[in-house]
Amino acid sequence: GRIAALTQQQKPSLSPLQLELNRLTKQISLIAIGLGLVFFVSAIFFVHYPVAQSFIFALGMIVAFIPEGLLPTVTLSLAQGVQRMAKKHALLKDLNSVETLGETTVICSDKTGTLTQNQMTVDHIWTPAHSFTVTGQGFVNNGQIQLDGKPIKYGTDADLDLLIRLVAFNNDTEVEPSKGSARPKILGTPTEASLVILAQKSGIDT
């Protein structure tokens, strides 16, 4: 529950790009105001403009120093990044996430259910005499045991038969077939469930 509490208490923070833009904006503003003051003083003491005219002149210089095209340029750059990432099947809803994702070096993610389906599958069997291939994925009897590309059933190979009996009878897990597109329900561990499915693929009624 500690991880869940930390994620719920997490407050929205500025992205690295937003922090950099804020810092750049402050720097540009300070430089523009400083130069505006220099022009204001110079207009009064060197050019001998009236104070009001010198103020308007300095204000115009400050406005001119501010890059008005900065925001549209950044927005267009991020939009182009979103389009390029969309071509790689990465959907981004927030433009600021483009730059943040570009700086990502490590992704910490829950493996089960996110990167995997928590469905173990036996795909190879090795006996002293042969190497068998098992087709099909998940907790569904949708494959078969093959030797050199040919289907093999229980009762064909003595070593394979012994192995199948061991995994079928020394097993406390039950796999209930799914209805429609629903996932099969297992009563036990995923590892033993994969062995139950293996026994079913060999032709044994579990």
What is the phi-psi region of residue 4: left when phi exceeds 0, alpha when psi lies from -120 to 50, beta otherwise?
alpha
Provide the domain limits for residue 10. 2-102
Q: Could you read off the pLDDT of 5-32 as tens digits, one per residue?
A: 666 677 777 777 888 888 998 999 999 9
> How long, in residues, is the chain?
206
- Assess if residue 45 is contained within a domain: yes
* pLDDT exceeds cutoff 90 at 102: no
Show the tokens assigned to 173. Answer: 């897990």
- Assess if residue 48 is contained within a domain: yes
- Assess if residue 170 is contained within a domain: yes
Q: Is 110 a catalytic residue?
A: yes
- Shared domain for 85 and 128, answered yes or no, is no
Q: Which amino acid is at 106?
A: V
- Shared domain for 88 and 11, answered yes or no, is yes
- Shared domain for 14 and 86, answered yes or no, is yes
Query: What are phi and psi for residue 183, nearest 5 degrees?
Result: -75, 145
Mean pLDDT within 189-199: 89
Give percent of the chain above pLDDT 90: 25
pLDDT in the model for residue 159 = 92
- Assess if residue 111 is contained within a domain: no
DSSP bridge partners of 174:
187
- Assess if residue 108 is contained within a domain: no
- Shared domain for 85 and 150, answered yes or no, is no
Structural element, H or E, at residue 192: helix 190-202
- Assess if residue 29 is contained within a domain: yes
- Shared domain for 40 and 84, answered yes or no, is yes
pTM for the full predicted model: 0.47
Distance CA 92, CA 2 (A): 28
Mean pLDDT within 93-101: 76
- Shared domain for 50 and 97, answered yes or no, is yes
Q: Could you read off the pLDDT of 138-183 as tens digits, one per residue?
A: 888 888 999 998 998 888 899 999 999 998 888 888 888 777 656 7
Q: Which of 94, 110, 148, 205 is catalytic?
A: 110
Distances (CA, A) of 74 to 21, 77, 93, 178: 9, 5, 16, 51
Number of separate domains in the chain: 2
- Shared domain for 142 and 187, answered yes or no, is yes
Show the tokens assigned to 155. Answer: 């009762």
- Shared domain for 64 and 146, answered yes or no, is no
